[in-house]
Amino acid sequence: MPAQLIDGKAIAQQVRAEVRADVEAWVAAGHEPPGLATVLVGDDPGSALYVGSKQRASAEVGIRGFDHRLGADVSHDEVAALLQQLNADPAVSGILLQLPTPPQVDGPALTETIDPDKDVDGLTPISVGRLVKGRPGLRPCTPQGILELLRRHDVVLEGAEAVVVGRSDLVGKPVSALLLAANATVTVCHSRTRDLGEVCRRADVLVAAVGVPGLIAGDWVKEGAVVIDVGSPAPDVEFESARERARLITPVPGGVGPMTVAMLLRNTLAAAQAAA
Ligand code: NAP
């Protein structure tokens, strides 16, 4: 029987509705609404769309938006000053600096100046350290979205063999850390892994975060496995043949993709609650 699809679009909608209800309850209890500050430098249309969609999603759940747009010729120090101001502003619960930035602005270095308690992307070194050490903190959105998909489908992670293909800071490493924290036995693969197919065949839970369309052959999927395909916009997994062997599988699009913004909203509320 072909695998059941994991409907990320529907689950993301559920998460967004839950965040909306939780924000309402938070405000009804007398708190200020959570606030999400986005900082966009320059006029890249793709980045502008991305920032706009995050701000719209925030507004829909009652999160206050602080949408900062700076010209392409702004200096590094001006962006640094804005981030310091946002760090100090109690109305701002979460801060996102949209990358890439123009060449005179060192975006990655500036990202590291964001207060870790407002780091709703969960990607700064302090947030990564907190994740790896199992301390409370903000977790990266896409990896957290993957864990949410697994949780909503009651996938047992304790003792499970989890194989993650990809070791990026954005997805592969943090999702591996989250799976480990959930007591899975985690193997992380990358471009130098020998016999990738053999390693994948061991997986009860297989996470593909590579960006090479169709790299994961359908017959690398163990019978009854759960397959999470992070590939975007094209799937990393050969979908049709993998579906014949898996128990659960994410489609691309409509699987992991919609979860990222949903988890960003949840992180922003969590940051506001932790700061109160
Ligand atoms: P990335 O930074 O390019 O990392 C890709 C990883 O895949 C690297 O660790 C690389 O290994 C590994 N890799 C490349 N070719 C390989 C091969 N032939 N065999 C085994 N491993 C190989 O990519 P990323 O940022 O993690 O993104 C991965 C995919 O997820 C992309 O399609 C991206 O668009 C998508 N994505 C989706 C979302 C979302 O849906 N919300 C969010 C983020 C990313 P090395 O480390 O050895 O180079």
Q: What is the CA radius of gyration of the chain?
A: 19
Q: Residue of the nearest CA to atom 13 in ligand 1?
A: 191
Ligand 1 atom nearest residue 171's Cα: 26
- pLDDT per residue, tens digit, the chain (276 aa), is 899 999 999 999 999 999 999 999 999 999 999 999 999 999 899 999 999 999 999 999 999 999 999 999 999 999 999 999 999 999 999 999 999 999 999 999 999 999 999 999 999 999 999 999 999 999 999 999 999 999 999 999 999 999 999 999 999 999 999 999 999 999 999 999 999 999 999 999 999 999 999 999 999 999 999 999 999 999 999 999 999 999 999 999 999 999 999 999 999 999 999 999
Entry pTM: 0.98
Distance from C-alpha of 27 to C-alpha of 23, rounded to nearest angstrom: 6
> Cα angle vertex 231, ends 135, 247, to 5°?
85
Q: Residue of the nearest CA to atom 4 in ligand 1?
A: 168
Quote the tokens at residue 68.
Answer: 């900062």
**Which helix (DSSP H) or strand (DSSP E) does residue 205 occupy?**
strand 205-208
Catalytic residue (choose from 55, 98, 144, 204): 98
Ligand 1 atom nearest residue 212's Cα: 15
| Longest CA span, the chain | 58
Residue 103 Ramachandran class (φ > 0 left, ψ -120 to 50 alpha, else beta): alpha
Q: Residue of the nearest CA to atom 39 in ligand 1?
A: 257
Ligand 1 atom nearest residue 257's Cα: 40
Catalytic residue (choose from 121, 204, 229, 236): 121
Task: Tell me the backbone φ, ψ of residue 37, rounded to 5 degrees.
Answer: -100, 125
Decide if 92 contacts 37 (C-beta within 8 A).
Answer: yes
Q: Residue of the nearest CA to atom 2 in ligand 1?
A: 168
Amino acid at 230: V
From ligand 1's centre to the CA of 195, what distance in Å?
Answer: 18
Question: Does 121 qualify as catalytic in the annotation?
Answer: yes
Q: Is 168 helix (H, G, I), strand (E, B) or coil?
A: coil
Which residues surround ligand 1 with Cβ inside 6 Å?
142, 165-168, 170-172, 189-193, 196, 209-212, 215, 230-232, 256-257, 260
From ligand 1's centre to the CA of 107, what distance in Å?
Answer: 21
Quote the tokens at residue 254.
Answer: 């409509």
Report pLDDT for 1: 87
Q: Is 24 helix (H, G, I), strand (E, B) or coil?
A: helix
CA-CA-CA-CA dihedral for 108, 112, 114, 120, to nearest 10: 80
Question: Does 54 qualify as catalytic in the annotation?
Answer: yes
